[in-house]
Amino acid sequence: MNKIAIAIHGGAGQNSEFIEANYDAYLEGLKAALEQGYALLQKGSSALDVVEATVRILEDNPLFNAGKGSALNSNGKVEMDAAIMDGKSHAAGAVSMVTQVKNPISLARKVMSNTKHVHIAGYGALELAKLNQLELMPEDYFIVERQINDLKEEKSYGHGTVGCVALDASGHLASATSTGGISNSLPGRVGDSCMIGAGCYANTQCASSCTGDGELIIINVIAHRVALLMELKGMPLQAACDNVIRNIDNPINGDVGMISVDVDGNIGFSFNCDRMHRAGIDHSGNMVVDIYEKGSMLRPDK
């Protein structure tokens, strides 16, 4: 089999009592999603199919801030964003201000495959979901207690935007990112997760997905910058990720993180904050699953 690799994230930012109390559950959720995505790669699934399927798993896990478990805006409503990109064709699809759609990442995929557009928002996104018979859920499905508490306490963050990047056996790369946004945001606020080049990007050399302070990721065009550093400066993947996230000469004054995979099956993780929920399996079959700075390398079940 040719080289395959996969990496996922479940958000980056400051630590919290909730994360510490649910540490094991977060690791279990990351590992389960990772192993299911890796199994698909082993079976020969395309990178594009794998990143969509893996992000769907994370969207269905209420611990993460995407799909079920999304953050609530200042009106107590859920508005979700998502994007997906195929590195081979450069095709991409994105949605924002999404309501009712159980898995926004699959709606982003429909934008890419079934329309001539790249990004559709709000009521138009919902109409497209209905047209494509995607599963819809009532508003209360998405709302969980921790997000209600965050809104009551007027916290302006969310636990765990999700993303996945993958390299398939054909040498193709893909990226997908999905989020419930940030708690107590203004209605209609759109973050980086649905913006191609900022929170999500893939080409023939690498695929990246970002998480953290969305406004900073947008203005720094983080996911695309990694690809440019690799192409124009010849940087290896991890060095390019660190250059963008931890550049001491041009620091990003906020909490950001990213995952990335290159065409050789190397995976990169970089973040400048307390934690980034992350997991990956590289071209050699080495697995990492962790939240805080120091990771441990494991071997996946064969």
54 has catalytic annotation = no
Task: Using alpha carbons, list the distances in angstroms from residue 74 to 31, 90, 102, 122, 181.
Answer: 33, 36, 21, 17, 12
> Read out DSSP for 192-249?
STTSBTTTEEE-SSEEEEEEE-HHHHHHHTHHHHHHHHHHHH---HHHHHHHHHS-TT
Q: Which of 161, 177, 179, 211 is catalytic?
A: 161
Q: Residue 137 has which token pair?
A: 């859920």
Q: Residue 14 has which token pair?
A: 């400051």
To the nearest 5 percent, what fractions of the chain are helix, strand and coil? 35, 25, 40
Pick left, alpha or beta for residue 221 (phi over 0 → left; psi -120 to 50 → alpha; otherwise beta). Answer: left
Known catalytic residues? 161
